[in-house]
Structure 1
Amino acid sequence: MTEARNQVFPYPNHCDNLNGCDLIQNFKTFTALLVKEKVMIPSIIHQTWKDREIPQELHPFQASWKRYHPTWEYRLWTDVDCRKLIADHYSWFLPIYDLYPQPIMRTDTARCFILHHFGGIYADLDYECLKPFETLLAGKDLVLGCEPHSHVQRSQAQTRGFDFILSNAVMASVPGHRFWEHLFKSFVGAHMEPNPLDTTGPFLLTRAYLEAPDKSEITIISPEDLFPFDESEVWEAGTKRTTLPPPPGEAYGIHYWQGTWWRKTKMRWYASRPPKTIDIAQTKNGAGEIIAIRTLKSSLIQRILPRNAPSSRSPPRISSPIIPGILPEAVNGVWYQVTHQNEVVASALLDVKQILRFLNTLDHPPLVTALMVTKGRTALAQRAVLNFQKQTYPHCELVIVNDDEDDQLRTWVQSLADTRIHLLNLPTDQRSLGVLRNIAMQEARGDYVAQWDDDDFSHPMRLALETGLVLLHNADACFLQRWMLWAPEQRRLAISHRRLWEGSFLARKVTIPPYPDIAKGEDTPVADAIALNQRTVLLDYPQLYTYVIHSQNTHETSHFEKFFAKATAIYESGAYDIAIRQLQNDFDIDLSQWIEGQPACRYDHPISGRRSRRSPALASYPSILILTPVKNSAADIPRYIHNLHTLQYPHDKLTIGLLEGDSTDDTYEILSAALPQLAVDFHAAYLFKEDMNYKSALPRWVPSEQRRRRAAIAKSRNSLLMRSLDNQDWVLWIDVDVESFPADVLEHMLATGKDIIVPHCVLPDGRTFDLNTFKLEPGATSWDWSPYLIDGILQPPIGWGRNYLSDFPDEDLVELDSVGGTMLLVRAEVHRHGALFPVAPYNNLLETEGFASMARDMGYSCWGLPWLTIQHPRK
């Protein structure tokens, strides 16, 4: 490489291969060469940082560029600046840019787009300039530098077969150089690689150079000129150049290889070797040089997004299935793709929090119009309207085109007094479904429209998620790759195969072509046209839409058999009832008429009437510590205190412990005021305050939220326990929002003689509320639960392999595999011996579920009383 210093590498310059005849015969090449001579690398220095607050340690390096280039323009790009450049000038790349899992990937790509757009020099902030760069750059179009030779000897480079590594720490270019466009294609092709070095960093840059169709305009600079010291030499010396050997006279600068994106201790400069905690994760050769760094996080990402994952594929149209976008290794998440004119440009796992957070930042969220066409199906139309009203996206309207002169639906809609719902009654005529959809489109006021069929169900978050994805990725439409298929009369429920499902779309109104004048299949060519010509999000979230098959469908029943034959999952028999209950919970709609029998816990009389057992006589009354973590519970506290006073258990044997955290209301103040009286009425009362810094705008039941939410609850429980437990015999956990419980509930639980015991917590209608209390079905421990392992914790559908206390109506006492915390009685020695509430997954379980698993592993058993009911309000 030394011999190639400042030479075009590895091929000679264009002019060496062209004589006069060549130039005359190739006028285009001649013109390009003349133009090239007039274009110089602009006198602009570009550097990037997350914001304008550059760490003090980097100021000398930043100043060195200005010192040696006093007349040059200097630009510092923040993260906000970089994204704006991409959004304004390279919007096609924005889906990938936004979806990069690590900030360094955005930083790596941004510097290349900056050089393509403006030209100039890019330099990392940890690069010290030693002399002017004018001489180095004179007459060149694109300048890249090689990393030190020792870096090539490391295992990561050797396994990739590199003879040299090009660094992206210092680069210079004329604006618009064609190599950058070649590199941009490499960014797209490698965007799913797990290692930043392969995704956007030096390894990708090196590979792109090797694969470039024309290297003649690229100048490669030797390490001695740009990178005279390797990583280990700089680490030994820290940032003091005086402790390094003198750089070669030809050196233009020194790179200090800070590596803020991967170093465990950010922004720390080492005066000696890195700490041993980092050495443990390093591999060294015989000379003690670091040749590889291994991190758990990298291997984890590798498992989820394997390196051999296809980088780009063309999704077919409706006539053929979509190739699965979700990888076998990523079955625990919701997957989606972003396409541009039928070419995949990005693939990612859905982050519901990110979508909702993004929607909340919009000053003027767009109006979305749901379009429904109906005729002579008033009951179905009413159900569809109620389903629309449950949508969580607030900026929406529903346009109903009723091809029927009957006023029954109009009268009902008017009674709702919902200004978002607009009904157009048409005189009876022989209009096709395509014509009716075009009429509905003309009535839409929103910039975006969604198909809203009168006989199907949409999840309450459908419009929010589809709208958010479209806006976040500057897309024109969103389709579901799969949806639910439900044939209630046949008691069949399935998850469809992957395909562009027409009825699921939400799209920008101006991109939707007219529907053809046909009676059925009218939406197929429309959906195809959108997918082929627009930027589209293909979301693999079947639970967002349930297509209902019945005797009045546009297509005959036999049409749907082929869909069931291709289904990726089918729920029948007992699994069908479980799945329908899950739908019932998701959509908040009563589907009980399609469930075989009624839930065992559904009672026709008040809960208080369920208990007809006498209070047991206890030989003694052990001391009990009642513990309750609270957050934003101002409205629940009066009832909670009242319920404590209704306990017939001797109050002098009861100590109350409370911990408040993260509240945004006056929970703490209310408890503080109530504490003195509680201390008088009971043996003692304590109040603690500790914020767990958990906040979320998502509903508490969202799967992606469970690990953070329940980990915060577990921390609260453990903290409260450690602060409060003294010499008490038992610990009773009660949720602050439990509505009511029997006065003798403690006596009944103590009478069992068990170490861990729970009552049956139900809703006012009798259905089980506490689904963390369950007993596994026989043989369930040997099942494959991996599809339901989300964020490291098990989150299966309701009833999947689990029986709840409602499933044992005739049992007095049931041994359990897991317990919930609405009311939980624990012998104090169980906690003292180390059974706490895991804040990280224990056997893939958290909080009370993890506690039960831990206690069972320690030799304790958990028990439930199906007949002893406490009530929780419906929220």
Structure 2
Amino acid sequence: MKPEKLFGRDGGPFNISSNRFHPKTYGSSLFRQKGARIASVIGLIFIVFMFFHSSFFSAVEQIPSSLYTMKDDPSYHYKEYDLRDLMNVKFTGDYSKSGHILICAPLRNARDHLTIFFDHLRKLSYPHHLVDLAFLISDTDDDTYDSLKSKLEIIQKDDDPKVHFNSAVIYLKDFGALVGQEFSDRHGFAAQGPRRKLMARARNWLLSAALKPYHSWVYWRDVDVETAPETIMEDLMRHDKDVIVPNVYRPLPEWFGTTEQAYDLNSWSESETALQLAETLDEDAVIVEGYAEYATWRPHLAYLRDPNGDANSEMSLDGIGGVSIMSKARVYFEGCHFPAFSFERHAETEGFGKMAKRMGFSVVGLPHYVIWHIYEPSDEDKVIIAEMEKERKERETAEREAEAQAHRAQSATQRYNDNGAEEGPLAHGNDHSS
């Protein structure tokens, strides 16, 4: 294979000036022409610089001023970040010293959930000017993109400036997802390994594109959360842990016989049984919780909930779920990520928890601090719902028919009574007395 040549302006392997072979008598003229061209270029650069001067500095001012330094000499314009501050990030209630938060939200066919998600965003108590929003839309066939743009424009142009976020960005990247978005598609056992690895890739792309040196915290949030406290970010940050998650439940319809159910089983502490199981599996295998195929007997954050328990109680975790994750940015800056491969037989958020723990970071969950995921019917639920709907319609039809029969019977009785009153013996009683 021939090496690639570097071509000059004349198409040859060298950059040859047309003035190179001119007679020496033209030297002074050429010098003057060259000087004029240089002066023209310098003048043009100066004009362009002055034109964009104000916009240049206004763009720089959008970055937190405490996190960069601008030299007085215009020739030394640059941003300076003291990343040492990230090692000691701690929320004390003083927002000005708490740093910026990056909220990351991966999206796929999420149009129907964006209304409630943006309602949550609008109500967040953490100062919005310290929050950046980042969205990654992937493998979507609905109008998530248009809906997201519309809602971002609404919230960023709100009449109340306190509602505006510091910035918002949308990223588009497909990963070739083959798993559907129905509840049973996403939660079926066979789909879990490939799905988790693909989701890890999406999270890593979003994080790598959006994370900036001035971010102190990163908050991951699923858009299909139904109920969560407005103070959730501060509530999690106050624990001063490197990685922390709340408990996640979901409400259930009355016909379930109970009103609630543990939703996220991906937050757990390791067990000896699970460690032994991992040793028997292929190196690419991914253990997933809540399936009979992998009996791990791990303590799950979800099952340790006490409705009357202390919301600040902590539980040390090894794996975590991805519905709501608060983490310090230094966790990612130091190299921890969402494994898109089998890391200790786990991937994505559970693998992230494992990796963070392996790197010496604190990973905890709050068993009694609960947020609520929306209810999504499984295929089995849909069968039951369809049967219940069929029974309801049959019952309503029978009730309407019974009412119609009763009405017809009442009408017949009324007609009989009316006729009897007009033509019966009592109607001609005076005829006998005459």
**TM bucket normalised to smaller:** 0.5 to 0.7
Supply the AA of the counterpart residue of 1:624.
Answer: I
Supply the AA of the counterpart residue of 1:689.
Answer: L
Match of 1:754 among 228, 235, 241: 241
Higher relative contact order (CA 8 A, sep 6+): 2
Distance 1:797 1:651 in 2: 37
Structure 1 residue 629 and structure 2 residue 106: aligned? yes
- Report 1:558-707 matches (<5 A): 618-620=93-95, 621-680=98-157, 681-697=164-180, 699-707=185-193
Match of 1:857 among 334, 337, 358: 358
Distance 1:617 1:750 in 2: 9
For 2:28, the equivalent position in structure 1 comes to none
Structure 1 residue 775 and structure 2 residue 269: aligned? yes
How far is 1:625 from its partner?
0.4
Distance 2:114 2:280 in 1: 39
Distance 2:301 2:149 in 1: 36
Tell me the SS of whatever aligns to 1:802: coil
Supply the AA of the counterpart residue of 1:774.
Answer: W
Offset from partner CA, 1:108-132 (integer Å, 9 cap, x none): xxxxxxxxxxxxxxxxxxxxxxxxx
Match of 1:801 among 281, 297, 302: 297
Distance 1:658 1:758, change over 3 A: same
Distance 2:218 2:229 in 1: 18
Match of 2:194 among 699, 708, 711: 708
Tell me the SS of whatever aligns to 2:229: coil
**Structure 1 gap segments, 5+ residues each:** 1-270, 272-615
Tell me the SS of whatever aligns to 2:346: coil
RMSD of the alignment, in Å?
A: 2.2
TM-score by length of 1: 0.29
Supply the AA of the counterpart residue of 1:835.
Answer: C
Supply the AA of the counterpart residue of 2:320.
Answer: V
Distance 1:709 1:667, change over 3 A: same
Distance 1:700 1:630 in 2: 14
How far is 1:747 from its partner?
1.4
Distance 1:714 1:860 in 2: 19
Distance 1:713 1:828, change over 3 A: same
Distance 1:690 1:623, change over 3 A: same
How far is 1:700 from its partner?
1.3
Distance 1:806 1:840 in 2: 26
Tell me the SS of whatever aligns to 1:803: coil
How far is 1:813 from its partner?
0.7
For 1:564, the equivalent position in structure 2 comes to none
Offset from partner CA, 1:715-755 (integer Å, 9 cap, x none): 11111111111121000000111112001111111110111
Offset from partner CA, 1:259-283 (integer Å, 9 cap, x none): xxxxxxxxxxxx9xxxxxxxxxxxx
Distance 2:188 2:153 in 1: 38
Supply the AA of the counterpart residue of 2:327.
Answer: V
**Larger helix share, 1 or 2:** 2
How far is 1:869 from its partner?
0.9
Offset from partner CA, 1:35-80 (integer Å, 9 cap, x none): xxxxxxxxxxxxxxxxxxxxxxxxxxxxxxxxxxxxxxxxxxxxxx
The question of whether the paired residues in 1 share the 8 Å contact of 2:247 and 2:368 is answered with: yes
The question of whether the paired residues in 1 share the 8 Å contact of 2:265 and 2:290 is answered with: no
For 1:139, the equivalent position in structure 2 comes to none
For 1:53, the equivalent position in structure 2 comes to none
Distance 1:743 1:789, change over 3 A: farther
How far is 1:767 from its partner?
2.2
- Report 1:508-587 matches (<5 A): none
TM-score by length of 2: 0.56
Supply the AA of the counterpart residue of 2:209.
Answer: R
More displaced 10-residue stretch of structure 1: 786-795 or 761-770? 786-795
How far is 1:671 from its partner?
1.0
Supply the AA of the counterpart residue of 1:756.
Answer: V
How far is 1:796 from its partner?
5.2
For 1:735, the equivalent position in structure 2 comes to 222
Tell me the SS of whatever aligns to 1:668: helix
- Report 1:482-521 matches (<5 A): none
Distance 1:796 1:673 in 2: 37
Supply the AA of the counterpart residue of 2:194.
Answer: R
The question of whether the paired residues in 2 share the 8 Å contact of 1:818 and 1:852 is answered with: yes
Supply the AA of the counterpart residue of 1:699.
Answer: D
Distance 1:716 1:723, change over 3 A: same
How far is 1:874 from its partner?
2.0
Supply the AA of the counterpart residue of 1:733.
Answer: W
Tell me the SS of whatever aligns to 1:691: coil
- Report 1:323-362 matches (<5 A): none
Number of aligned residue pairs: 260
Distance 1:802 1:675, change over 3 A: same
How far is 1:780 from its partner?
3.7
The question of whether the paired residues in 2 share the 8 Å contact of 1:755 and 1:827 is answered with: yes
More displaced 10-residue stretch of structure 1: 636-645 or 768-777? 768-777
More displaced 10-residue stretch of structure 1: 757-766 or 723-732? 757-766
How far is 1:770 from its partner?
1.0
Offset from partner CA, 1:311-339 (integer Å, 9 cap, x none): xxxxxxxxxxxxxxxxxxxxxxxxxxxxx
Structure 1 residue 721 and structure 2 residue 196: aligned? no
Structure 1 residue 837 and structure 2 residue 338: aligned? yes
How far is 1:865 from its partner?
0.9
Distance 1:687 1:782, change over 3 A: closer
Supply the AA of the counterpart residue of 1:793.
Answer: V
Distance 2:152 2:135 in 1: 10
Distance 2:360 2:140 in 1: 37
Distance 1:855 1:825 in 2: 13
Supply the AA of the counterpart residue of 1:736.
Answer: V
The question of whether the paired residues in 2 share the 8 Å contact of 1:625 and 1:731 is answered with: yes
Tell me the SS of whatever aligns to 2:227: coil
Distance 1:660 1:648 in 2: 26
Distance 1:829 1:683, change over 3 A: same
Distance 2:148 2:290 in 1: 37
The question of whether the paired residues in 2 share the 8 Å contact of 1:675 and 1:686 is answered with: no
Structure 1 residue 848 and structure 2 residue 349: aligned? yes
Identity %: 30
Distance 1:795 1:786 in 2: 15
The question of whether the paired residues in 2 share the 8 Å contact of 1:758 and 1:865 is answered with: yes
How far is 1:679 from its partner?
3.9
Distance 1:834 1:825 in 2: 17
